[in-house]
Amino acid sequence: MGFVVSRRFAHNLRISVARKIRRRPVTRDAPVVTHQPTDVRLGRIVSLLLEHATVVVSGTKIAQEISCSRSEVWRLIQQLRTLGVDVAGHPATGYQLRSVPDLLLPDILQPMLRGTIFDGDIHHFYKIGSTNIAAMTAAAAGASEGSVFLAEQQTTGRGRGSNSWHSPRSSGIYCSVILRPALPPSDALMLSLAAGLAVQAAIRQVDPKTYPDLKWPNDLLVEGKKLSGILTEMNAEATRVRFIVVGIGINVNQVGFPEDLDAISLHQATGREWSRVELVASLLKSLDREYREIVANPGARESILCRFAENSSWVRGKPVTVTENGGSVHGMTEGLDDRGFLRVRTAAGLETVFSGTVRAN
């Protein structure tokens, strides 16, 4: 076991080799974010009500199905209502869904993901600090490849660098997955680029008229505003990856953003509500296809580079400014190198962007 080397690269990979760390005491002013997985019985109740959507389901039947008392069923129904699920009825008459809830519950998603690496461990949270932090912690403790972490709301959602990710409740997609590829750490950028392609493909599958632009290395834009971001973090040795967590945030049904955010949602871009369940299922299936190709096909790298360039207006012929460590350079993008890094033609010649922020001029 080696010592830690922690660095953050332009493609948003955090590499950390395990080492002992001294825990700092929690100060009185430090925020302590707790998160508990969603009670699995909530998902089972929703699934049961969906299966009997045309009839009223008695509290007794629900109690038998999920192995609890009728009073506990009432408590769980009340909890669902506080989370926005429209459930009609009461203990004396039974319960019925008035509408299909757009909650990212494992019981709803798993049947849609059969045959993918993501159809097993799906962890759902109504509120969490960060799905990436939860996934990194679980991966370090041995969680299986394909584990998925989904949240209705994040309190400390993370974007690139030190940026936060605006994560209001049940409006966006906040998703992190654990991967354990048999790849060298140098190939990890390919996963980030492939994740961008997967997000783009998923959105187009749900609505072919919506065509997000891929901004190298890890953003998707609509009308020049950020629609989606990807945060990829890696734990690796010098020659092999232990695990990679790919975090994906998508602005779906938000109707507005803080003034300091140059962001847009799919709802704002298209003028309609989107099903987050449908979009998450499409996303994970697309990511499954990209990932299987990477680990099974030695020629996948060339395909990813070619498709990313074809689906991005940023890769070639884009006037940009690259800012890093307080300095900046201006130039024109000239494609990706064979590792996936961006090349920019500046006054000083052709430069390769390994880190920093790339902005359009």
Share of the chain above pLDDT 70, in %: 87
Q: What is the pTM of this model?
A: 0.84
The per-residue DSSP string of 30-78 comes to: S------PPPHHHHHHHHHHHHTTTSPBPHHHHHHHHTS-HHHHHHHHH
Task: Tell me which of 310, 326, 343 is where a domain ends.
Answer: 310
Task: Tell me the residue range of the domain where 349 lies.
Answer: 316-360
Residues 92, 140 within the same domain: no
Task: Tell me which of 50, 71, 97 is where a domain ends.
Answer: 97
Q: What is the pLDDT of residue 31?
A: 38
Whether 27 has a pLDDT exceeding 80, the answer reads: no
Residues 83, 134 within the same domain: no
**223/162: higher pLDDT:** 223
Residues 228, 275 within the same domain: yes
Count of residues in the chain: 361
Mean pLDDT across the stretch 303-319?
A: 97
Residues 286, 200 within the same domain: yes
Residues 183, 287 within the same domain: yes
Residues 117, 159 within the same domain: yes
Phi and psi at residue 286, to the nearest 5°: -65, -40
**Cα(214)–Cα(83) distance, integer angstroms:** 34
Q: What is the pLDDT of residue 336?
A: 96
Task: Tell me which of 57, 79, 97 is where a domain ends.
Answer: 97
Residues 200, 56 within the same domain: no
Whether 3 has a pLDDT exceeding 90, the answer reads: no
Query: pLDDT tens-digit profile of 33-86?
Result: 446 788 889 999 999 999 998 999 999 999 999 999 999 999 999 989 988 889
Q: Please measure the distance between the N-terminal and C-terminal CA atoms of the chain and give it in whole angstroms.
A: 45
When divided into structural domains, the chain yields a total of 3
For residue 331, the domain's CATH number is 2.30.30.100
Average pLDDT over all residues of the chain: 87
Helix runs in the chain, H state only: 40-51, 59-66, 70-82, 106-109, 131-140, 188-206, 266-270, 276-296, 300-310
pLDDT bracket for residue 7 (50, 70, 90): very low
**Residue found under tokens 């991967």:** 179
